[in-house]
Amino acid sequence: MVRPSEYGDDTVTDTSIPRADQSLDEEGTAPIAANGDTDVDTEPEETEGEAGREKKAPAESDLFRQSEIAADYVEGLLDILDYDGDIDELVSGGRPVVEVVGGRLQSLVGQRGATLEALQELTRLAVFRQTGTPSRLLLDVGGYRANRRKELAAVAKNAVEKVKEYGEAVRLEPMSAFERKCVHDVVNAMSGVESESEGVEPNRRIVVRPVD
């Protein structure tokens, strides 16, 4: 393994989401749908006593430290699993990021990124254990999240086209928080439509509606 040492009563039409090759925030700020709904890639929840208190954004050095801790943890997992991968840690969009690239990492992604999401949560926990601070770390393996973003952008645009053509709401199939954010970002950048999330995990989904 090589790791550089430096550096989230309407008529409704169902649509299907194209699957990734079965081989995710998420960048920037949390997306806010037109109705105020916020989908974050498993954003750490506000703890008791923090309500009403202004939160100070972590320093760049603190974020990079989180990415280093996360990279060390992921490297240890790859060693245990006997997988080879290049690991890069960085800070992007105001959050720590760890990217893993390799030729035999498909099983770390899983169906629709389910395994990747679980690994990300474990990695965030590892960061929390060392820093005492909830982390918004984003973990990507084999470029899955970047590829999935492109697919979801197409899904969102297709839903918007249907809404504008028929004037009816379009309900997408259940998605992860990362996937919902990708769709919200695209829909909210387009005029004449709005998006909101409904349901509970793991069946939480997005509904795209025309703006009155």
Of 142, 177, 202, which residue is a domain's last? 142
pLDDT range class, residue 1, cuts 50, 70, 90? low
pLDDT in tens, 61-113: 899 999 999 999 999 999 999 998 999 999 998 999 999 998 888 899 998 88
Q: Is residue 3 part of a domain?
A: no
For residue 92, what are the β-bridge partners? 95
**Residues 106, 120: one domain?**
yes
pLDDT tens digits along 148-163: 999 999 999 999 999 9
Task: State the Cα–Cα distance between residues 146 and 140, nearest whole angstrom.
Answer: 8
Q: What is the pTM assigned to this prediction?
A: 0.68
Amino acid, res. 185: D
The pLDDT score that the predictor gives to residue 65 is: 95
> Sign of torsion, CA 155 18 24 125?
positive
Q: Which of 142, 160, 182 is the last residue of a domain?
A: 142
Are residues 138 and 91 both part of a single domain? yes
54 within some domain: no
**How far apart (Å, rounded) are the C-alpha atoms in residues 71 and 122?**
12
Q: What strands, in cross-sheet order, belong to the sheet with 86-92?
A: 86-92, 95-101, 138-141
Domain identity same for 137 and 72: yes
Residue 69 and residue 116 share a domain: yes
Q: What share of the chain is helix, strand, coil (3-state, %, to 5)?
A: 40, 20, 45
- Domain of 64, CATH number, reads 3.30.300.20
Q: How far apart are CA 208 and CA 171, in angstroms?
A: 6
In a domain, 74, yes or no: yes
Same domain, 69 and 135: yes
> Rounded to the nearest 10 degrees, how much is the dihedral formed by the CA atoms of 206, 41, 146, 12?
0
Nearest 10 degrees: Cα torsion 53, 26, 81, 134: 0
70 and 108 assigned to the same domain: yes
Neighbours of 91 (CB within 10 A): 18
CATH classification of the domain holding 197 = 3.30.1370.50
> Which of 93, 119, 142 finishes a domain?
142
Same domain, 179 and 164: yes
In a domain, 42, yes or no: no
Which pLDDT tens digit goes with each residue over 138-191? 999 999 998 999 999 999 999 999 999 999 999 999 999 889 999 999 999 999
Range of the domain at 90: 60-142
* Domains identified in the chain, total number: 2
